[in-house]
Amino acid sequence: MKRLANLKRLGFFTRLLDEAPPAERYRFAAEQIVRAEKAGLDSAWIAQHHFHEREGGLPSPFTFLGYVAAQTSRIRLGTGIVTLPLESAVRVAEDAAVLDLLCDGRFELGVGTGGNPSAFAAFGLDGTQRNEIFARNLEVVRKALTGKLLDGGDTLYPQRPQLDKRIWQATFSVAGGARAGKAGDGLLLSRTQPRTKDAPNATLADIQNPIIDAYLAALPPGAEPRIMASRSVFVADDHREAMRLADLGLRRALPQFMKSGHLPPGETLEEMITAFDTHVGGPDEVIASLRTDATLERITDLVFQVHSVDAPHPYVLRSIELVAEKVAPALGWTRTAPEVALAG
């Protein structure tokens, strides 16, 4: 694979995990998205997590994206994801509609079942019912956005039917891929997935290509595929510095990585980089590494995140620039936005 023939858009993603107090996390993330816009990226995505700051630092994605929307003018802003079972479906539709109006139609609504069992309990919900709650809430979101009557006879204000065509579903499973395809939604693929004991050496492509197959098979005739792959990418000017930061970050992230169901990696940094599905190094190294990921030959959108390297903020800003200037063009991405001078 030399270039990603289907790649149309490039994005930046953050779970807001900077080693900083909450207010600084939000400021850093906003600065990173502003830098992504200046670098010419097409989209920026943020994750929602409740309670556990080591997993994600943002419970209120719409509030944060409203703040970011006021500092940007072109880059598309997405949720990757809203944990839909833990939300009021009508409120999600309302917040999404208002945000999309405020940012001039730049919002992309990514949703998923997500959340850990303790989060469901805190919201008074049964985590074993997450798929059923998700399906029910997503139906309500669609009805509300498109102006259909809700229970009780009310309709949403403001209505935003355009957003029904900008819904993305995140999934780890073949069944989830088929569900997203059948709905005509976009497909969100994770940066990493746990391997099973039966296939400990499976590649990410081995796991995710069947999800893409199911998605494409279920997609309605004439519907345009939207397939986004998130990938862990950290690029530095200096190879040794990249590896030093990767060693610090991956070892720090290892307990949570194991808690999430991943098999134990080896002790060396190289083994950890492989286990975490991380692409790290100088620009040429990262380009070569990404070219080994066969999943990327089939995607329309590539979104990169620095997790779980989680380098200090200035390094994240530089990584964004290097991805836009050197890595992504080598993979086939074409900048469509006008270049803006990057501040130091």
- pLDDT tens digit at each of 344 positions of the chain: 467 888 999 999 999 999 999 999 999 999 999 999 999 999 999 999 999 898 899 999 999 999 999 999 999 999 999 999 999 999 999 999 999 999 999 999 999 998 788 899 999 999 999 999 999 999 999 999 999 999 999 999 999 999 999 999 999 999 999 999 999 999 999 999 999 999 999 999 999 999 999 999 999 999 999 999 999 999 999 999 999 999 999 999 999 888 888 988 988 999 999 999 999 999 999 999 999 999 999 999 999 999 999 999 999 999 999 999 999 999 999 988 665 555 43
CA distance 323 to 2: 17
Q: Is this prediction's pTM over 0.85?
A: yes
- Whether the CB-CB separation of 32 and 25 falls below 8 Å is answered with no
Which residue type is seen at 166? R
Q: Which two tokens stand for residue 230?
A: 């998130």
Which residue blocks in 152-203 are alpha helix, DSSP H?
174-183
Q: Which of 307, 299, 308, 305 is nearest to 331 (CA)?
A: 299
**Rg of the chain (C-alpha set):** 19
- Whether the CB-CB separation of 46 and 29 falls below 8 Å is answered with yes
The backbone torsions φ and ψ at residue 31, rounded to the nearest 5 degrees and listed phi first, read -65, -35
End-to-end CA distance of the chain: 34
Cα 317 to its chain centre, rounded Å, is: 18
CA angle 122, 131, 106 (to 5 degrees): 85
CA distance 88 to 82: 11
Check whether the bond before 255 is cis (ω within 30° of 0). Answer: no
CA distance 198 to 196: 5
* Cβ neighbours for 100, distance < 8 A, ≥ 6 positions apart: 106, 107, 160, 162, 163
